[in-house]
Amino acid sequence: MSNPTATPVSFGRRADRALADERMRAAIARGTGLMVQRRHEAVAELVNADELRDAASAIRAATLQRLPELLEQWSDNLGALGGQVHWATDADEATAIVAGIVRRRGGKVIAKGKSMISEEIHLNEVLERAGAEVVETDLGEFIQQLAGEPPSHIVAPAMHKDRFEVADLLSADRGAPVSPEIDDEAAYARRRLRQAFLDAGVGITGVNFAVASTGSICLVENEGNGRMCSSLPPTHIALMGLERIVADFAELDVMLNLLARSATGQALTVYTNIVTGPRRGDEIDGPEELHVVVLDGGRSAALDTRFSPALHCIRCGACLNVCPVYRQVGGHAYDSVYSGPIGAVLTPLLKPDDPAARELSEASSLCGACTEICPVRIPLHDLLLHLRHRDAREDASRLRRAGFWLWSQAWSRRWIFRAMVLVARAGLPLLRRMRHLPDVGWLGAWRRGRELP
Amino acid sequence: MTTGTSREEFLRRLRATGSGDPGQPPAKPRPRFADKRGGPNGFIESWTALGGTAEQVPAEDLPGAVTAYAVGRDGPLLATAGLDVAADLTWPDCGSQAAAGSAVGVVRAVAAAAQTGTVLLRADDNRGRAASLLPPACIFVIDAGSVVDTLGDFLRDLEDPPSQLVAVTGPSRSADIESTLVIGVHGPGEVHAILIG
């Protein structure tokens, strides 16, 4: 399933396909279960977790209120230290900027760290078309690149695969068997990717936070590949969404205390890289050029809507791990770079013209587990409900709207409601004899998964 | 370069949104911990819990401690200039291929955080980036007096960050395959802290 977008298939169909994949579901159940457990243990170490979450929520909201000022300050500071900031309105601009830098700075090999933005703008395809060899160096992303699949989880891209599937992919890459032992698989990836770091002319990474007061970018990771990509190649290109900014290191501290705990259950990731400009005159190593590409990609349009809290997201993936829908169908069923509850909210905001993106708000039971676990307190299930509401308003036929209006009027009157309950009670035995409601049209879709009382 | 949008244009679109008034400045509380750790001993406790090893020695014993850790390993010892240890290779003179083939790197840290077992590395002042990154094992030399409680304590006081500051919290790891922990993926899988003083 290298290209799940080839023919438009509804979320329901994709979910059905996912539900039939027992192997994938076992892997997702295990992965999400472990991540939730580790997250709970790590958050419990904090005495003031709630205070930090409230603060993080307020910090993100305040940031969105003064984005232009913070971005200006950040880019002035970074520019003064020799960093080059590029502004991209959309994916085409962002990929053109990166391709231009790659062309100018040469080097056939590009070492790439994990970056959701790069997935969002489909950067690899553009660079490969231009003749570059792009090597994904995060272990999970490397596996996904070999499989020809997009990531299925924001934090753990290959969560849906077991070690035997991984061994098959690595063996094909090596041209010789790699044993399905996880240590051996990681050791092979280390050897295989090491030369890419040393050969790369350009390293590409994401950005977790940009710090306005100093012009810094902060990148968190566990393997060391982000560090390699930002330290060894002569050019480092970092990609970030325009909302990824904090005012100062105190705000960064609040965020760092929540991000890794919520994502992987660590107090901090193994590497917290804070980059403030390219290598300076008297330094002994490091990239000569640092470029940061700031992407709008539909974000500014979402700012003035009631959906702007979705831009508070710090990409920890916790909402995926607790979502009863994600836990059953995995990430690929969403057919979007961003899956799970946050993906169901973000995707239609970032792709307002894509009818398939709208459908994702249905991929939720509205149970609220996502809202409860979100470290920055995004009211995810409220936003999903608002999206459904908006889409229903915009999409519904006049007949359907009239029907729902009638229903709402009727049920707002006590006597009609009572009468309907009585009718329903009398009619139930009759319905039971029918056993099933007819499996056609929207009635059929509604009926699936529901039983008569 | 002419691709992309000008900063003015990009920010102008943003100015059209939001109030521009963040209201009350948000609170930025420090984390508080049930199991509070501080000082060199607190650091060692956290660091070893992550899978690192540690020892505390007087300054004059540093060269001996480094040699003792590196002895018998399959490859040379790599150090950055300015460290008083008997290294086989000096970064960056040896080049990155040689550095990648070394068995142990030794670097000076600027501070450490006890609560999380975190070592802080700055790229300036001849410390560089690669010697703590390429070898499969790394020794961090830490002044015992430089241990703070949390990473935030260090960051909040930081005024002029260097071009690269890395907070290292344990050995390189991944849980990308079956959510199972593996150690030593790209960065050093063996990490040893030597606290001085």
Q: What is the DSSP string of A268-334?
A: S-SEEEEE-SS--TT-SSS-SEEEEEEE-TTHHHHHTSTTGGGGG-----HHHHH-TTHHHHTTGGG
A283 & A424 share domain: no
List the single best residue of B37, B174, B180 to mutate versus A (max A Cβ within 10 A). B174
- Average pLDDT over all residues of chain B: 94
The last residue of a domain, from among A269, A300, A331: A300
CATH of the domain at A286: 3.40.50.10420
| Interface residue of A256, A283, A293 to substitute, partner B, most B CBs within 10 Å | A283
Q: Do A271 and B169 touch (CB under 8 A)?
A: yes
Domain count of the fold of chain A: 2
Same domain? A77 vs A199: yes
Of the candidates A156, A375, A370, A157, the one whose C-alpha atom is nearest the C-alpha of residue A262 is: A375
pLDDT at A437: 64
Could you give the domains of chain B? 36-196 (3.40.50.10420)
| Residues A143, B80: C-beta atoms closer than 8 Å | no
How far off is chain B from A32, nearest CA to CA, in Å? 9
Q: How far is B128 from chain A (nearest CA, A)?
A: 6
pLDDT of residue A2: 41
Burial A16-45 (b: 16+ CB within 10 A, else e): ebbeebeebbebbeebbebbbebbeebbeb
In a domain, A358, yes or no: no
Using CB atoms, pick whichever of B3, B22, B91 lies closest to residue A100: B3
CB environment A274-292: b (16+ within 10 A), e (fewer): bbbbbbeeebbbbbebbbb
Instruction: Among A268, A289, A293, A295, pick the best mutation site for testing chain B contact (most B Cβ within 10 A).
Output: A268
Name the residue among B189, B179, B48 with its Cα closest to residue A264: B179
- Is the domain of A72 the same as that of A199? yes
Query: Chain A within 8 Å of B1 (Cβ-Cβ)?
Result: yes
> Pick from B13, B81, B187: which is nearest to A223 by CB?
B187
Contact (CB<8Å) B133/A231: yes
Q: Are residues A296 and A411 in the same domain?
A: no
Looking at the structure, do residues A290 and A416 belong to the same domain, yes or no?
Answer: no
ipTM above 0.85, yes or no: yes
Contacts of A155 in chain B (CB under 8 A): none
Chain B CB contacts of A303 below 8 Å: 14, 17-18
* CB < 8 Å from A in window 58-87 of B: 80-81
d(CA A290, CA A308): 30
CB pairs under 8 A between A and B: 293
In this complex, the residue of B34, B128, B174 whose CB is nearest that of residue A223 is B174
A214 inside domain: yes
Task: Choose one of A300, A324, A359: the last residue of a domain.
Answer: A300
State which of A284, A300, A316 marks the end of a domain.
Answer: A300
A271 and A413 housed in the same domain: no
Whether residue A279 sits in one domain with residue A146: yes
Inside any domain, residue A371 = no
In a domain, A340, yes or no: no
Per-residue pLDDT of chain A (453 residues; tens, 9 = 90+): 344 444 578 999 999 999 999 999 999 999 999 999 999 999 999 999 999 999 999 999 999 999 999 999 999 999 999 999 999 999 999 999 999 999 999 778 999 999 999 999 999 999 999 999 999 999 999 999 999 999 999 999 999 999 999 999 999 999 999 999 999 999 999 999 999 999 999 999 999 999 999 999 999 999 999 999 999 999 999 999 999 999 999 999 999 999 999 999 999 999 999 999 999 998 999 999 999 999 999 999 999 899 999 999 999 999 999 999 999 999 999 999 999 999 999 999 999 989 889 899 999 999 999 999 999 999 999 999 999 988 888 877 788 888 888 988 988 999 999 998 999 888 877 777 766 666 666 666 676 667 666
Nearest CA in chain A to B32: A47
Chain A residues in contact with B166 by the CB 8 A cut-off are 227, 271-274
A contacts of B115 (beta carbons < 8 Å): 267
**Residue A25, domain extent:** 11-300
Q: Is B146 an interface residue toward A (CB < 8 Å)?
A: no
Q: Within this chain, do residues A147 and A281 fall inside the same structural domain, yes or no?
A: yes
- The CB density around residue A14, as the number of other CB atoms within 10 Å, is 21
- In a domain, residue A414? The reply is yes
Low-confidence ranges of chain B (pLDDT < 70): 1-2, 18-22
For residue A274, being part of any structural domain is answered with yes
Contact A48 B31 (CB under 8 A): yes
A350 lies in a domain? no
